Structure 1
Amino acid sequence: MSRVDLNQRERAVLLTLLAEGRELTNAQLQEAGGVRLDGEPRRRLNEHGLVDSRKVGRGFVHEISDAGTAWCTEELGASRPDRAGYLGGALYAILHGLERTGIPLSELFPYRPDPEVRIRDAVARLTEPGGWVGLSRLRKEISDLARGDIDAALAALAVAPGVHLQSEPNTKALTESDHEAAVVVAGESRHMIMIENG
């Protein structure tokens, strides 16, 4: 298969996704690399199999594919693009330096799953859309993530559309594990989460 020729925006998206090593929303892409992926560039990168995009709510989240990582690996030895500017030139000098190390990009930039995505996926596995999941059960499902990362993600999700974090109204039903797994949002301990369909 011949190498896909990408414009500077598309290259920037791939390199940012590679460096971040996780799914990113457009807002996260903008924050990390100063670039967004939508419209024709998104369609092109998806059609060429370089980026996997999936709809979440009203927007998309994007993740570099194995083919995208392979494209980036080839880019290590590529010539600096025309009109790359000073920063672009410096970036390609860094890429050539990475190539000289001989270290695979997958080792330099390991995959780091987004805690919010992991929580959404875990809730989807544990219950039907609109069903409640206790945070104690949820934490066991994603026990490889640090508690602080989970708590921060839960706090962010608490204000996301279609996500509900709730306290257990019957406090007598709470176990020690339930108390330990609770997250404090807006000054209140929350014990369960529900994510609506879509």
Structure 2
Amino acid sequence: MADDRLTLSERCVMLVLMAEARELTNTELYAVAGVKLDGRYRRRLNELDLVASTLVNRAFVHELTDRGTLWCAAELSRERPQRSGCAGGALYSVLAGLGRHLDRTGAALSDLFQPEQAAGQVSVESAVEQAYAELTDGSGKPLRLSTLRVRLAAVPRTEVDQALETMARRRDVHVRAEADQKVLTAADHGAAIMLGGTARHLLTIEVPR
């Protein structure tokens, strides 16, 4: 089945993952929106490369892929599915409004939807940006993730990875693979992050002009 003919429940899972902007277990999906992603529905979204599901401690953790993020962006301008009821009609009316806002402002989905942050908590994304600025002297040049991880050694790797994954959705942030694989060291390989099935080694944050 093509990805433009998903069931309403599958669409809801995709949109919840978009809005929460983080990995979610089925328990969390159900708590947030009363939906789950199990069985053939999970397999279908995985096979369509819209959602990546990882088995952690006998429970799946779901997150949008790059293609899934693009699907959600396109969904903002689509008509509501047939037989989606009044709740579906209201949802797609809100999505259309969000789409118009993004078109007017030039903003991205990642500008609107970000993981919830506890009050007073320092954002790991902010820590990454600050470390990047200091290590590159504000030049905006590519920085090896191996160097970044040394600077952020006190921050759990999983949190740095999540911050990088979220930041990579921004237009001004690029997490790329090293073109010349021969120059990579063991530290570079160990510090790499997997995005879209590709190992990425370099972080670039564009400097405003």
Instruction: Name the TM tier (shorter chain).
Output: 0.5 to 0.7
Query: Take 1:62 and 1:16, find their aligned partners in 2: how far apart are those partners?
Result: 11
**Which of residues 133, 151, 155 in structure 2 aligns to 1:141?**
155
Contact 2:3 2:48 in 1 (8 A): no
Using the size of structure 1 for normalisation, the TM-score is 0.56
Residue 49 (str. 1) matches residue 49 (str. 2): yes
**Distance verdict in 2 for CA 1:70–1:62, change over 3 Å:** same
Whole-angstrom CA distance in 1 between matches of 2:157 and 2:49: 31
Match of 1:25 in 2: 25
Deviations 1:54-107 (A, max 9, x none): 001111000111111100111111111111111111110000000111232121
Q: How many residue pairs were aligned?
A: 121
Tell me the SS of whatever aligns to 2:52.
strand
Determine the C-alpha separation between the residues in 2 that align with 1:69 and 1:100.
17
1:15 offset after TM fit, Å?
0.3
Structure 1 residue 109 and structure 2 residue 109: aligned?
Answer: no
Query: Any idea what SS the aligned residue of 1:140 has?
Result: coil
Residues 1:59 and 1:43: Cα distance change in structure 2 (over 3 Å): same
Say if 1:3 and 1:35 are closer, same or farther in 2 by CA, change over 3 A. closer
Distance 1:89 1:21 in 2: 23
Structure 1 portions without partners, runs of 5+: 119-138, 146-198
Task: Name the CA distance, whole Å, in 1 between partners of 2:47 and 2:111.
Answer: 26
Q: 2:15 maps to which residue?
A: 15
Instruction: Tell me what 2:67 maps to.
Output: 67
Residues 22 and 112 in structure 1, CA contact (< 8 A), matched pair in contact too: no
> What's the Cα RMSD here?
2.7
Percent identical among aligned pairs is 48
Whole-Å separation in 1 of the counterparts to 2:64 and 2:24: 10
Secondary structure, counterpart of 2:78 in structure 1: coil
Matches within 5 A, 1:143-158: none
- How far off is 1:18 after superposition? 0.6
Contact 2:13-2:36 within 8 A present in 1 as well = yes
2:4 aligned residue: 4
Q: Counterpart of 1:141 in 2: which secondary structure?
A: coil
For 1:104 and 1:20, locate their aligned partners in 2 and report how far apart those are by CA, in whole Å. 15
Asked if 1 retains the 8 angstrom alpha-carbon contact of 2:46 and 2:52, the reply is: yes
Q: Cα gap change, 1:73/1:81 in structure 2, threshold over 3 Å: closer, same or farther?
A: same
Unaligned runs of at least 5 residues, structure 2: 118-123, 125-152, 160-209
Name the TM-score, length of structure 2 as normaliser: 0.53
In structure 2, do the counterparts of structure 1 residues 58 and 90 end up closer, same or farther at CA, with 3 Å as the change threshold?
same
* Larger radius of gyration between Structure 1 and Structure 2: 1
Question: CA offset at residue 4 of structure 1?
Answer: 3.5
